[in-house]
Amino acid sequence: MSITWTAQTGPCLLALVLSIAACGDRGSEQPAPPPKTSPQPGAARTGTIQAPAAVRDRLHIETVAAHVVPEIVTAPGEVALDLKQVAKITSRLEGQVQSVYVQLGDHVRRGQRLLAIESMRLDELVQEYLVTKAQTDVAESGFRRTEKLAADQIVTERRLVEERGHYVEAQARHQHVREKLLNMGMTTGELHQLEHGSHQEGHLYTLTSPIDGTVVMQNVVRGQGVSPGNELFEVVDTSRVWIFANLPIEQARKFKEGDVGTILPKGGEPVTAPLTYLAPVADETTRTIQVRFEAANQQHNLRPREYVDVQLTVASAPTLAVPLSAMTMVENVHGVFVQRDTGYAFVPIESGREGGGWIEIRKGLTAGEQVVIDGVFDLKNVLLKEHIGSGEGG
C-alpha cells in the first residue's frame, strides 16, 4: 500500500505524531510521594513499648483506685509562750533584798525559793497575826465555857450572846490579818508554822516560784530595795507552747476548733498540734483570721518567737487518684504509663488537685488500671529512644 502525500495530509499527519508523543511522555511520569509529616507537639502516643528486663525489674505497679486527696492550706506562723505557763514574780511589800537564790537561766521547781526580802512591814503583820490569833483563842474559850454554863442555866442568855459577839469579833480581826499575809504571798503552811511558834527571824519574806520552768528574766540583785509591784523575775515553762497564724477569711471558714494542724519548724521535725482558737473578729488591716495551736514541746524544739510554717488539711471525699510519682511529661503532655498485655502505654490524663502525695485524675484513667509508680523515668527513656529510632524525631 502506498501513501500519497497531498497538501492537506501533511499537516494532519504531523499533528497526529505530536499527539502520540505527548501521551507517551505523560504515561512514563512517576507519581510524586506524599509529603512526610512529623508528629505535632502534644500529640498522644497510643502505641505500647517493650521494656528491657533490667527496666522491668525496677518498675512498681499500683492499681488505680479512689483515694482521699487532701487540700492542704499552708500559712506562716510564729511560736509564742503559752501564757498559762508564764509567771512574773513581784514583791507585795516594801523591803530590801537580803538573798537571791537563783539567776538567769536556772531551771526551778514549783515552790523553790527565788529570793528573800527583809521587811519591817512583814514583821508588823506577823506580830499582829499572832496577837489576833491569841485573842481569838481566848474569846473562843470564854464563849465555849459560857455556852456550857448557859446550858445548865447558871448564866443568863444575855451573857451568852455577849461572849458569842466577842468571839465573832476576834475571829474577824484575825481573819483580816490572815488575808493580808496570804495576799502578800505567804502560804497557809507558813501561817500554820507561825501559829506554832516558828517565827521568821530577821523579818524575812521569801518569794517562791509558782510553776516549774526556767528563769528568763532577772531584775534584782542582793541589797536592792524593792516596792510592791516591782517585777523581779520571770519564769516560763516551754514544755507547752502556742503557735499563731493568720488565715484568709474564706480559708478559716473551712476549719473548727479541734482540727489538727502540722507545725513545720525550719530545720526541725514536724509537730502535730490541735487548733484551739479561731478569732471571732477579722484583723482590721489584713482582713485575716488569727488562729492558735497548742503544741507539746517536751524536747524544747520549738522556740518562742521563732517563725514556722503551719499546715491544715481540708477534709474531702475520696476521688480517683494516683501517686504523684506516676506523673511525667512527654512532648508537653502530662500523663502516666499504664501496663497493658502487650507492654506499657503512655496515656495522657487530665489532673486535678494535689495533696498528701496524691494527684486527682479527672480524665484518662479508670479504676482498676495498672499504673507505673516507680521506674517512670526509665520507661520515658525507652519511649524517647523508640521515637528517635523510628525517625519521628527528625
**Among 124, 55, 51, CA closest to 94:** 124
Query: Residues 342-375, buried b or exposed e (16+ Cβ, 10 A)?
Result: eebbbbbbebebbbeebbbbeebbeeebebbbeb
Helix 188-195 and helix 157-183, axial crossing angle in degrees, nearest 10: 130
What is the predicted pLDDT for the residue at 393?
Answer: 52
What is the predicted pLDDT for the residue at 4?
Answer: 43
Per-residue tens of pLDDT for the chain, all 394 residues: 444 444 444 444 444 434 444 444 444 444 444 443 334 433 444 578 888 888 888 899 999 999 888 888 999 999 999 999 999 999 888 899 999 999 999 999 999 999 999 888 887 888 888 899 999 999 999 999 998 998 888 888 899 899 999 999 999 999 999 998 887 767 788 788 777 765 555 567 889 999 999 999 999 999 999 998 899 999 999 999 999 999 999 999 999 999 999 999 998 899 999 999 999 999 999 999 999 999 999 989 999 999 999 999 887 788 899 999 999 999 889 999 999 988 999 999 999 888 888 999 999 999 999 999 999 998 999 888 877 766 555 4
Contact 74, 263 (CB under 8 A): no
Output the nine-digit C-alpha cell for 177.
Answer: 490579818
- d(CA 310, CA 273) in angstroms, rounded, equals 10
What is the predicted pLDDT for the residue at 64?
Answer: 93
Residue 369 has phi, psi (to 5 degrees) of: -70, 155
Cα angle, residue 33 at apex, residues 32 and 38 outer, rounded to 5°: 140
- d(CA 312, CA 55) in angstroms, rounded, equals 39
Output the nine-digit C-alpha cell for 302.
Answer: 520549738
What is the predicted pLDDT for the residue at 18?
Answer: 40
What is the predicted pLDDT for the residue at 198?
Answer: 56
Specify the pTM. 0.61
State the DSSP code for 58.
Answer: T
- d(CA 274, CA 259) in angstroms, rounded, equals 6
- d(CA 41, CA 330) in angstroms, rounded, equals 9
What is the predicted pLDDT for the residue at 392?
Answer: 55
Residue 209 has phi, psi (to 5 degrees) of: -80, 130
Contact 187, 139 (CB under 8 A): no
What is the predicted pLDDT for the residue at 122?
Answer: 80
What is the predicted pLDDT for the residue at 13?
Answer: 40
